Amino acid sequence: MISAQRPNVTERPWLDPAAKPQIVLEGIGKTYGAFTAVGSVNLSIYKGEMFALVGASGCGKTTLLRMLAGFVTPSAGRVVIDGVDMTEVPPYERPVNMMFQSYALFPHMTVADNVGYGLKRLRLDGATRQRRIDEALEMVQLGGLGARKPHQLSGGQRQRVALARALIRRPKVLLLDEPLSALDKKLRESTQFELMDLQYEVGITFVVVTHDQDEAMALSSRIAVMDRGAVVQVGTPAEVYEFPRTRFVADFFGTANLLEGTVAAAEPGLVTVRCADLGCDLYVDDAGRVQVGERVCVAVRPEKVQLSKSPPAGERRNRLKGVVWELGYLGSRSTYQVKTAGGKVVTAFAQNERRTLDWSIDWSDEVYLSWDANAAVLLQA
Ligand code: ATP
């Protein structure tokens, strides 16, 4: 979904040992009494990144964002921006601004006054203020709508007013809490691209909180996945999706078949896992860092599982037999739940490449499921 030309994905400063991060969170944590909302989090974010904080409800994403903004005082650790310790600096003196989930627009004020509100503390003269407002409205493609009230705008336009208000002070970092959650699905998708274009144009670092994994993958240069107050993995969307480090990450991003077993052989480049549930061995292309006898989990994405009515060919290819238990038509693809002999259900997605009203593979059909050894990831059980 991301255009290859976007600098935020082609430049990878996090891979350059000489590159200095713009934002450093050092052992940052927040406790409320005995409850730890955020554990000791370490993160480095580079200038110009679109960095997403993702995780289930209550995992601590908003608390982390608010510590960055200065609205929540950390119980431990430091927030450093451009080399300056911001931990004790109040929110309005930090080079960051925040766009809230609800947009928090004043209903009685015009769009221009809502946007200009962001300049209040700067005490600018009237002409300079107006010029900055006009520029900000142009930037979010709302030029000419300054005289309207928020209720005279669409949801997408209201979101852009909130963005203009947050950007008008030219912060170094823009923090966005669920920036697209108030929009319907179709609008959310187009607004994702607008947000990416805008971020590229203004060159400001964006840190985005979202619980929507698809949104995080479409938008971000990198993603930090959070679970119960901890960051469990940081990586590009493709790293997090294709190479999840834990079962939690594999399961949280998209759909994953998680198949447990015991390592039967571990040669470099090929690990054999004996799965009692499936009554067969699975092969995983892996560096072989596991020991024979170790309990492991094989994670395989449904789109990497092929379905066929006849036995698939190929040496050391993972191959299971089962019966179609459930199937769902989703337009662009169909999803199949296949029950294997041992009772384990495996999910496979099939792309609907041709127009047809018939199922080539139907309910109760006997089918083969197969995938290459390099399509699966080996994780701790
Ligand atoms: P959501 O996606 O639902 O907004 P989140 O990941 O942003 O969730 P946070 O709002 O950061 O989660 O909250 C993390 C945890 O800290 C939650 O369990 C929440 O109940 C708790 N928490 C947040 N603020 C406070 C507070 N002021 N006092 C006590 N507990 C709090």
Ligand 1 pocket member 55 (CB < 6 A): yes
User: 4 pLDDT exceeds 70?
Assistant: no
Ligand 1 pocket member 272 (CB < 6 A): no
Ligand 1 pocket member 174 (CB < 6 A): no
Output the CA 32–ligand 1 centroid distance in Å. Answer: 10
Is residue 304 classed exposed, middle or buried when 0-12, 13-18 and 19+ CB atoms within 10 A define those classes?
A: middle
> Over the stretch 323-362, which tens digit does the pLDDT of each residue have?
999 989 888 889 999 999 888 999 999 888 777 767 778 8
Are 85 and 218 in a shared domain? yes
Query: What's the chain's length in residues?
Result: 381
Domain-ending residue, one of 249, 273, 301: 249
Q: In this structure, which residue's CA is closest to atom 2 in ligand 1?
A: 57
Domain-ending residue, one of 195, 223, 249: 249
> Over the stretch 286-326, which tens digit does the pLDDT of each residue have?
887 899 999 999 999 999 999 999 888 877 689 999 999 99
Would 128 be classed as within a structural domain?
no
Ligand 1 pocket member 58 (CB < 6 A): yes
User: 3 pLDDT exceeds 60?
Assistant: no
Over residues 174-197, mean pLDDT: 84
**Is the distance from CB of 124 to CB of 82 less than 8 angstroms?**
no
Ligand 1 pocket member 60 (CB < 6 A): yes
Atom index in ligand 1 nearest the CA of residue 226 equals 6
The CA–CA distances, whole Å, from 182 to 70, 105, 136, 220 equal 24, 13, 22, 19
Most confident of 211-220, 232-241, 306-315: 232-241
Q: In this structure, which residue's CA is closest to atom 11 in ligand 1?
A: 60
Over residues 191-211, mean pLDDT: 88
**Is the distance from CB of 211 to CB of 197 less than 8 angstroms?**
no
The CA–CA distances, whole Å, from 195 to 9, 218, 233, 312 equal 15, 11, 24, 44
Ligand 1 pocket member 57 (CB < 6 A): yes
Domain that holds residue 87: 9-95+171-249
**What is d(CA 329, CA 344) in angstroms, rounded to the nearest whole number?**
22
Q: Look up the CATH number of the domain holding residue 39.
A: 3.40.50.300
User: 8 pLDDT exceeds 80?
Assistant: no
Residue type, 176: L
pLDDT of residue 357: 66
Ligand 1 pocket member 332 (CB < 6 A): no
Are 242 and 346 in a shared domain? no
